[in-house]
Structure 1
């Protein structure tokens, strides 16, 4: 590989130049694969199946760094090992092909291959370039240590983990909820919908944006190979989505088919797609029903202490609602709910008997609220998703509830309440 193609100030720019070439045979093979139906391939070898999450990407980035230092021989050696271990990692194959091409001839222009083959493989090559750019961007623009996504106002001890997705960076962030707050433990490259985000209707090939929860863990044996190592469905459409008339279903976090290590940044029908080793780590880690999943077009990272004022402000509203409910005055309690309130399809009037029954069971003992989590979603409206335990005083167990609040002027009001 000529030095002029590599000795560009930033090593990332050098990599872009390097990735843009591709041996003719490899391009033709990629084009043929893109134009013909995918065949069912045997299951991955035990070595590939046992690989650690994030390991393949870390090796790829190290190859990029070697290229940036003009250590092409070592880069070629490591690339050869990477594609041997992960023959379905197309981006690694692209880098390996570039390094091989550089052994034979100088790279004169970006994408220096026969015109016909370059044209046939253009969609595949464009997707791979975009994937490489997204991986590098996420690594260059990593959040500073200690920062958290602004949606995570406060999590209860019941939320042992949390997930945040930044669609603009094609990245998923996995957090552990520790005694001292959220700790970022891993992050992974992901794919979203073919047409991007902001899902609104069934079949629009977009990934929804909002605050969701993992609802189940689907056994991979019950799924097609297309979904890879498994699937974690989320509760799209959530109550805010339903209020806005959004439709669709079947939004999952899932893996990739055997012939693909990863997919293009925008390649799914709306799901969030990860490499199988990365998904396996998440499946082993998170808890069904209690793990929140925030999907944002672009995450805003903030110091946790900056969220305390917002939490305290909203806590006053929740305390006010709870005090009013404890008084047993249904007329006063109505003021805390929006006119379009629903509870699993029931209006406030239809739901009132359920509320009265709860109050009767508690009697004069009153209730206490425990294990409260606050997740905030702000777009055209300011919404709070609140989950808590409501326990009669003196009792050991009680109901787990979820409310959706919306800010109306200076007041917070509830537009959904239900028992989980």
Structure 2
């Protein structure tokens, strides 16, 4: 839905007072009062909300309000002298004094990355012209465990990252940011393919810039303020034969404000101020879902999918605990794997193990459920702590199950110990 210039500007003014961190983007319904870019507003906007300032400048240029655009761009360059897109817009505004502008980047600049800057402007504008339905919930986040205070969802095709907080199990929108992904897009499959992986990953730790400098020397400059490594490749990636490593959330070199939408070697990169803002919410085990395109669903539809996923996991647990081996094994698909073990070996092992037990009690704790991004969109991932007690064995472990839809049922296609 396209907004009028007055509504955009009014929304930006409101955002200056409600935003929790510099450069973060927290949205509220724009007030009806009109506003214009006068006085200190361009400077304040450029300093605290650079992306909104770019969008406002682009909107002003398109509506031929060049004086207002010029004030905004000058303020941007004062606040962020390394913002290359702002330099491009300044070139456009200078050229506009001689002739009408045909497109972004009309100025004859000797920059081979002109297309990258146009692409960045386009995806930033797209966020404003067609905002996501933030009252709805991303379908990927079906259940967060109590230990997961926040979760991240990346929309790879739209160069956007969303942060959600765990509100008693319900994901609630907090912030969103512009991001950079791999040079060749997404769906990573091998080492060095310059693609960003699709899947469900977890933050493993935080590498501050000082640590990066000690470890990587001059190469650390690529990561800006720091890095938050992700658990790629996960167990499903390995089962699918995907290779590679070192997929991180990280900042950008200090000599540039932001990078093009597709410019990394596979990581998710963000402007340094944005990375610091996001990093304040991240901790080990924070889920990061990277999807080709986020599906937003109503709370009613989300609840329906969540209950269906819970039912599948609970049915598996209940039937395993019952020691009714055929019924328990009915939860596994014909293509099931666990490491190098296929379904026939799995059936033989479980039949032998259950035959030696008089009773079993199985409890699942810290359960998180994700609609796992995949080519056919039919994977469900369950991650949990498993407390197993039986007549002759007790243990506690972390486990991960991957289900695939078969007709109207979910069947387990992979089972692994979660590290």
Query: 2:89 matched to which residue of 1?
Result: 95
SS at match of 1:96: helix
- 335-344 or 317-326, which deviates more: 335-344
> Any idea what SS the aligned residue of 1:226 has?
helix
- Structural mapping, 1:8-407, within 5 Å: 51-53=22-24, 55-68=49-62, 70-102=64-96, 104-107=97-100, 110=103, 113=107, 118=109, 120-121=110-111, 123-179=112-168, 181-223=170-212, 224-289=220-285, 291-328=286-323, 333-338=328-333, 341-343=336-338, 366-377=361-372, 378-380=374-376, 382-391=378-387, 399-407=397-405
* Change beyond 3 A, Cα 1:358–1:62: farther
Which whole-Å CA distance do the structure 1 matches of 2:71 and 2:359 have between them?
75
- Structure in which a larger fraction of residues adopt helix: 1
The alpha-carbon deviation at position 267 of structure 1 amounts to: 0.8
CA distance in 2, matches of 1:232, 1:178: 24
- Residue 169 of structure 1, CA deviation: 1.3
Aligned residues: 363
TM-score between both structures, scaled by the size of structure 1: 0.76
Contact 1:381–1:406 under 8 Å retained in 2: no
Question: Residues 142-177 of structure 1, C-alpha deviation per residue, up to 9 Å, x if partnerless?
Answer: 112311211122223222111111122111111111
The residue that corresponds to 1:418 in the other structure is 417
CA gap of 1:162–1:351, structure 2 versus 1, over 3 A, is farther
Residues 230-251 of structure 1, C-alpha deviations (whole Å, 9 max, x = no match) = 1122222223322222221111
- Assess, with a 3 A threshold, how the Cα gap between structure 1 residues 351 and 202 changes in structure 2: closer, same or farther: farther
**Could you list the per-position Cα deviations for residues 16-45 of structure 1 after superposition, in whole angstroms to 9, with x for gaps in the alignment?**
xxxxxxxxxxxxxxxxxxxxxxxxxxxxxx
Aligned residue number for residue 3 of structure 1:
none
Q: CA deviation at 1:88?
A: 0.9
Give how far 1:311 is off: 2.6
5+ residue gaps in structure 2? 6-20, 26-48, 213-219, 390-394
TM-score in terms of structure 2 length: 0.76
